[in-house]
Each structure stands twice: as structure tokens, then as C-alpha cells.
Chains A and B, each alone.
Chain A
Amino acid sequence: MDVLNFGSIKSVVLPNDWLADSEQNTGVMKMRCFHPRAHDDVEIAFFQKMQGVLESAIKDFREILACGPHKIVEGGTELIQLSPVMGNAGNHQWSNKTRGPRGPNFRYTLGEIIDLQGRKVLRVKGSFVEPESKKPQNEYCGIFIDSGSENNLVQEVYLQVPSKYGYFQFEKYVDAFSETLSTIVWT
């Protein structure tokens, strides 16, 4: 299944047996979602908030992308600088030290700048958790794309799998997701 024209993405090929949900284009986000026939709660989403991020945050993002492929070290300055562009995943254990119900809703496990089909993007893995109990709810793997110098918009493509399916199932879907990402043709 081909998906065309989502911001910086000219085209991308999804697994054949995945189904498309209707596009969402609300006052706050634009999103196209796809899910496998077997699990309609598993999703690969093409996602973009309608609001740009702050000037300072996009500047940091661009500078870190420009450094080329490298790991984003846990607890490092770069991770804190990148948090504002990471949306809900930016509220993680390194950016929010609060405990209890106001604690972080994302557990960050991996971040790196990668070269994806000739374009530098930020790749992040982790889990959405219930802030108080820390119980994992959704496993997450996604990329963040600088959508261009003419605006402050950040586009995302992510895989989200309910934690109830277990980590091995998640990793299987990560393989399918990675294969999908490898077919991206940029505008």
C-alpha cells in the first residue's frame, strides 16, 4: 500500500496487509493511521501537530541533526534539548524528575540521529507508562523529521503497540516498521 504526500514524505510503502484508518485533520493535529488486520490497536501513524515548536527548540533540533548520526545519551544535554520537539514522548524520566501522578508518562530507552534515505532524522524508542504506577501501556518507536526551514513544524512517523502484546511482538512489528521507513522517498 502506497502512501503519498505527507509533508516531507513524497511516498512510502506500507505492508500489503495493513489497513488504513480515515485521516484525522483537526485543530491540533494531522494524522494518517494504519494497522495490521490482526491487531487494530497496533498502529503506524504519520503524525504532525498543527502548531510549530518554539524557535529555540527547532534551532536546537536542527543543530543536533546537523551533527550527523550519533547516539543521544540518556541524561545528556542533547536529550533535554530535544524533549520539546518530541511531543508526549518528550515528557520522560530525564526531562521530568517529578514523582507520582505528575511524573513522566514516557520511559525513554533509546535515541539516535540516523541517516534515513539521505535525510537526518531523530529516532526514539521507549514506552508510554502510567505516571504513578509506571505500568507500561504502549511500546513506541518513532522518527522525528524537521519539515523544512520555512516553518517550525516537526513531522513524525511512529509505531505504537499496546504493551499487553509483549516485547517480542513489539520487536516483530519494529521490523515491519523499519522496512516501511526504508521505502520513504522524500520530497
Chain B
Amino acid sequence: MILIHDLQFSWPRDGFRLSIPELSISAGETVAITGASGCGKTTLLNLIAGICLPQSGTLRVADTVISDLPDAARREFRLRNAGLVFQDFRLIEYLTTYDNVLLPCRLSPAVNPTADFRARASALLAQAGLSAHSRKSVTRLSQGERQRVAICRAILLRPPLLLADEPTGNLDPETAEQILNLLLNQAAEHGATLVMVTHDRSLLSRFRRVIAFESFRRGPDGAGP
């Protein structure tokens, strides 16, 4: 699913530099990425999603070289292939729970909120135990409920890749466990690859693979996993 070869990325302003000689993640694999704050975990997710572009090297996602795509195609690729889950949920406060889940359908002329997607949004909310809240504003939901809405949004278009950036970072352990279960279940159900950044060591055992990220930072000679 994801193939990285000799990838170099830097933020010129603060001198941050990320170097990944080799990284390979298979389709359907669940991968946890750990590492100290500022080591580049979120940057890697952004690179995989095509939000940032590497200065050099190859980044192949779902058999597509992301860096070769023009802007519009990269956005389209991201919308269809990568479901993103953020630590701070990033829900749109003026939309209802249901409309937040449908949001990806409203952001691109290529995808429309058809009856199929509407039914799917309702079904996802039901699976996440949020049916009763579907017409409520997301501001009236608890933190855990909000993250579940964000996960439903990420998987609405059935992306083959789920990228989660510390999705349990703001949650209590019990809720964090529920959220991880939801992510893993959804990934398993759809055969999606899950790449999740986390600081929570108690969750690592749930992943098929754990990548300790320190090995990549400023490490032209650092070994890949």
C-alpha cells in the first residue's frame, strides 16, 4: 500500500529535516508510529496523504507516486484514498453530526452526497452508536463522541488507507480504547490500511506493527524498519 524509498523532506524555516531510506506498509496492515514530539510523525502522515511533498525520493501510495501528481489530482487522490483522523477532531461546528460525516461528499465536484452515501453515513453513525445524535450539533457531543464522528467521516468514502494522527490523544483511557476499537474494526471491515500516530504505549499491542520514529529523524544513515 505504501512504499517509501530514500525520502527527504525538510522545513527550511526551522531546520527540521526528515529522512526515510526505506519504509513499506502492506495493504490491510495496521501500523502504529511512535516517537517523541516533533520527530516528524505528523509530517510523515502529511506526506503520505499528499498534503506535503518530499524534496526528493519516492513515495508510492496505492500504486500511485504521489509526488508526480498535479495539485488537483493529489487532492482528489487524498479525498478518495486517504481517510484522515485528527487529534483535535477537526469537525465543522456549524454542521450537524450527520452532515459532518457527509462532509467529504460536499467538498469535491467528483463526489456527490448521493442516496448511497447518505444511507452509508446513517449506517456508520449507527455502528458508532451515534444515531441518536445525528441531527445534533457536534458542539453538543462529548470528546469521545466527536472523535467517533471524525472516524465515520474518514471512512465514509471507503478509503483504502486510514491515517490517524493521535486520535486518542485528548481522550481518557476508556474512551481511547473504544476509539481504537472502532478504528481497528472499521479498518478490518473494509480491508483498509491503518497508520496511526500515538504516544499511548498501552495501545501499541493492538497493532500488527509498531514503528519507532526516532530512527528516521535527521538520519540519512538511519535504518528503516
A binds B: no
Question: Interface residues, chain B, CB within 8 Å of chain A?
Answer: none
Question: Interface residues, chain A, CB within 8 Å of chain B?
Answer: none
